[in-house]
Amino acid sequence: MSSTVNEKTFSASPADQQRLLSLCGPFDEHLRLLEQRLKINIAHRDEHFRLQGDAAAVRAGYFVLDHLYRDTQQQGKVVELSIEQVHLMIQQAQNASPESSASADFSLKTKKGLLTPRNPHQKRYVGNVLKHDVIFGIGPAGTGKTYLAVACAVDALEKNLVRRIVLTRPAVEAGEKLGFLPGDLSQKVDPYLRPLYDALFEMLGYDKVEKYLERGIIEIAPLAYMRGRTLNDAFIILDEGQNTTVEQMKMFLTRIGFNSKAVITGDVTQVDLPRGQYSGLKHAIDVLSNVEAISMNYFDAKDVVRHPIVQQIVLAYEAHEAEKLATTESEAPQSAKARRSRS
């Protein structure tokens, strides 16, 4: 029995040859990616496109073409779409209905243009960052936790809602020790803070970031530098929060001053602390989950906005951990029974 093939047509309007070239990509690369990811067939002639396949996939394909065509023009100029934009738009279409995805209540202004959340969890996260003073973003790598937090910080700074941005993270990575790294203290900690620099350069531009760093409007420092300070009129981001100790997390949370906002991001499955040391992020989740003024936001593998293989990797690790946990729990009663029989 053959499955039903659904068909839908999309017409780019207003028709523009340069925008259509940007939409389709070099040698129709973007259309081929869309076909591959959604398992649909796309035929096109000029501004008219015919999509065939599963009903849900065809609807998602229409959504992607419609929104990408809008993105081919910004401020009256034709914009070349990147393969990354196509990947992200496909993921947005897959993770949420077109109706919910199209109606973003807010957007963040950056140098690259307006940035909007890509899926429901991102939308909820950004909404909570705008509404609350202390916000946790917890989930696997690649879900946009830090990137969106930096975007919110830049947006707040540009709107004069805060006077400065403070970005920090613990200098702990995969068991490495700072003493083994070459250079002075600044050179030792700089690699740990590089992801924060990269996000700022992308959103503000290199020259503006350098100027803000010189003036102290933007401060990027290891977590140890936060002790003893009170941060007023600031947007504070603690990245890689899973690598804080319990004492460090408490210290950080008590640095928050008047008219300040703190965002803590982390992945509790990638703790790099020495064995036996409890993660400050895990402890904070246990202690603060019921504090009404604090927003806890959780992401999962479906929210990964990097290369599609990253999502599959995260899912594979989650399945492995779940299987290992189930095996451990099933073996526990048998071990207890064996101990009782020996006694």
What pLDDT is stored for residue 103 in this prediction? 43
* Residues 48 and 11 sit within 8 Å (Cβ to Cβ): yes
Sign of CA dihedral 104, 105, 110, 114: positive
Q: Which amino acid is at 2?
A: S
Q: What is the rounded CA–CA span in Å between residue 244 and residue 240?
A: 8
Burial 19-32 (b: 16+ CB within 10 A, else e): bbebbbbeeeebbe
| pLDDT tens track for 162-190 | 999 999 988 765 444 545 545 554 555 56
Q: Supply 114's token pair.
A: 């307006």
Radius of gyration of the chain (CA): 24
* Residues 278 and 302 sit within 8 Å (Cβ to Cβ): no
Give yes or no for residue 130 having a pLDDT over 80. Answer: yes
What pLDDT is stored for residue 176 in this prediction? 45
Number of residues assigned to the chain: 343
| pLDDT tens track for 1-47 | 445 678 999 999 999 999 999 999 999 999 999 999 899 999 999 99
Partners of 114 in the beta sheet?
109
Cα angle for residues 49, 52, 55 (degrees, 5° grid): 120
CB atoms within 10 A of CB 237: 28
| pLDDT tens track for 245-303 | 999 999 999 999 999 999 999 999 889 888 889 999 999 999 999 998 999 999 988 88
Q: What is the rounded CA–CA span in Å between residue 58 and residue 7?
A: 7
Q: Supply 87's token pair.
A: 């990947």
